[in-house]
């Protein structure tokens, strides 16, 4: 591909990523509340005010939009167009404790929470360890291994929301399956505009690479992270060169990535103005529980 048109496409995609947090929250990866985040100290307060538009995730490069998404060889595809029911989550269970640490984070109030929830703790935040969460979907279990050392305030927020059931019984509102390959989740509102009633700063350093299996925050602009996040189910390193960065706070293993690929294989409806659309698969999260610290 001619490098000039590609640079133009990525620049346009970067513009689309700014918003309020949808796919990631409004661009290719926005959350419905803000645009992708910029690098910032985990303890620094947000440097910008979220826009009134829903968070947007990374925008996809301007390649022809398709209804299907590439699924690496070896991954399962839906049979007969119907979804495969994954294992049911336990009614109760999981780890409910949260370790202490030396970090301080800020979570200023922003908008109205899409679901009743308390903000995360702001002091004594752990900055070591890799807690593992089980996210049960209609296609099976997706294990999320988070990285406190890389993004302590982001992991602290996710952990708090998960333990309060914020993600339970929600649907992932956006799928991008051309140019970049991401499934955006974490929105109780189901329209790409959901948020937890607070925001927090980016935790990026400019070395982010959105390879297969990465978990990153969607947003509507620098330091406007909320609850929406995106799962990279196929190489999306086209985002690496963009000025706007999305906080990477964990990874999925191969089996979990295959679950997301099954969801993506059914395509999307093309309704998102920034690229992609609502998944044709229900993409339903029934429960998120913490498996270990």
pLDDT of residue 29: 56
Per the domain annotation, does 111 fall within a domain? no
Mean of the per-residue pLDDT values of the chain: 79
pLDDT, average across residues 162-182: 97
Is residue 137 within 8 A of residue 283, CB to CB? The reply is yes
pLDDT at 244: 87
Please report the pLDDT score of residue 156 as a whole number. 98
The per-residue pLDDT for 57 is: 65
Residue 100 placed within a domain: no
Report the C-alpha gap between 31 and 23 in whole angstroms. Answer: 6
Say how far apart CA 270 and CA 174 lie, in whole Å.
Answer: 10
Q: How many domains does the chain have?
A: 1
Query: Is residue 40 assigned to a domain?
Result: yes
Identify whether 194 is part of a domain.
yes
Distance CA 175, CA 7 (A): 23
Residue pLDDT, tens place only, 206-263: 999 999 999 999 998 999 999 999 999 999 999 999 988 999 999 999 999 999 999 9
Higher pLDDT, 52 or 203: 203
Rounded Cα distance, 208 and 167, in Å = 25
Q: Which comes out higher in pLDDT, residue 253 or 82?
A: 253
**For every residue of the chain, which 3-state class applies, written as one string?**
CCHHHHHHHHHHHHHHHCCCECCCECCCCEEECCECCCCCCCCCCCCCCCCCCCCECCCCCCCCCCCCCCCCCCCCCCECCECCCCCCCCCCCCCCCCCEEEECCCCCECCCCCCCCCCCCCCCECCCCCCEEEEEECCEEEEEEECCCCCHHHHHHHHHHHHCCCCCCEECCEEEEECEEEEEECCCCCCCCCCCCECECCCCCCCCCCCCCEEEECEECCCCECCCEEEEEECCHHHCCCCCCCCEEEEECHHHHHHHHHHHCCCECCCCCCCCECECCCCEEEEEEEEEC
Q: How confident is the model at residue 89 (pLDDT cuts 50, 70, 90)?
A: very low
CATH number where 180 lies: 2.40.100.10
What pLDDT, on a 0 to 100 scale, did the predictor assign at position 93?
65
Percent of the chain with pLDDT over 70: 68
Q: Given pLDDT bands bounded at 50, 70 and 90, which one contains residue 124? A: very high
**Does the residue 185 lie in any domain?**
yes
Tell me if 161 is assigned to some domain. yes
Structural domain harbouring 37 = 28-60+128-293
Q: Are 197 and 227 in contact (CB under 8 A)?
A: no
Residue 133 pairs in a beta bridge with: 144, 290
Mean pLDDT of 28-56: 40
Quickly state the pLDDT bin for 60 (edges 50, 70, 90).
Answer: low
pLDDT at 200 over 90: yes
Examine the pLDDT at 6 and tell me if it is beyond 70.
no
pTM score, whole prediction? 0.76
Q: Is residue 9 situated within a structural domain?
A: no
| Section 176-204 average pLDDT | 96
**Residue 149 predicted with pLDDT over 60:** yes
More confident site: 4 or 213? 213
Is 89 contained in some domain? no
């Amino acid at each position: 591909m001619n490098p000039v048109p590609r640079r133009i496409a990525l620049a346009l995609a970067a513009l689309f990523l700014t918003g309020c947090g949808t796919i990631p929250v409004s661009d290719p990866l926005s959350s419905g509340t803000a645009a992708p985040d910029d690098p910032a100290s985990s303890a620094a307060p947000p440097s910008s005010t979220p826009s009134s538009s829903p968070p947007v995730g990374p925008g996809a490069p301007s390649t022809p939009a398709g209804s299907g998404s590439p699924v690496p060889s070896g991954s399962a595809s839906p049979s007969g167009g119907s979804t495969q029911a994954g294992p049911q989550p336990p009614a109760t269970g999981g780890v409910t404790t949260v370790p202490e640490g030396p970090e301080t984070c800020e979570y200023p109030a922003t908008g109205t929470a899409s679901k009743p929830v308390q903000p995360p703790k702001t002091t004594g935040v752990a900055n070591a360890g890799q807690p593992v969460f089980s996210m049960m979907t209609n296609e099976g279990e997706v294990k999320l291994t988070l990285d406190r050392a890389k993004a302590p305030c982001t992991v602290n927020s996710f952990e708090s929301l998960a333990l309060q059931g914020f993600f339970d019984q929600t649907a992932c509102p956006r799928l991008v399956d051309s140019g970049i390959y991401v499934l955006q989740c974490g929105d109780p509102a189901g329209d790409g505009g959901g948020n937890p009633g607070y925001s927090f700063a980016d935790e990026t350093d400019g070395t982010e690479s959105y390879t297969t299996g990465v978990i990153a925050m969607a947003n509507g602009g620098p330091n406007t992270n909320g609850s929406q996040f995106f799962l990279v189910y196929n190489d999306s390193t086209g985002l690496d060169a963009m000025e706007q960065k999305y906080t990477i706070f964990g990874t999925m293993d191969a089996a979990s990535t295959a679950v997301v690929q099954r969801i993506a294989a059914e395509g999307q409806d093309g309704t998102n103005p920034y690229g992609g659309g609502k998944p044709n698969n229900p993409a339903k999260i029934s429960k998120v529980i913490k498996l270990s610290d």
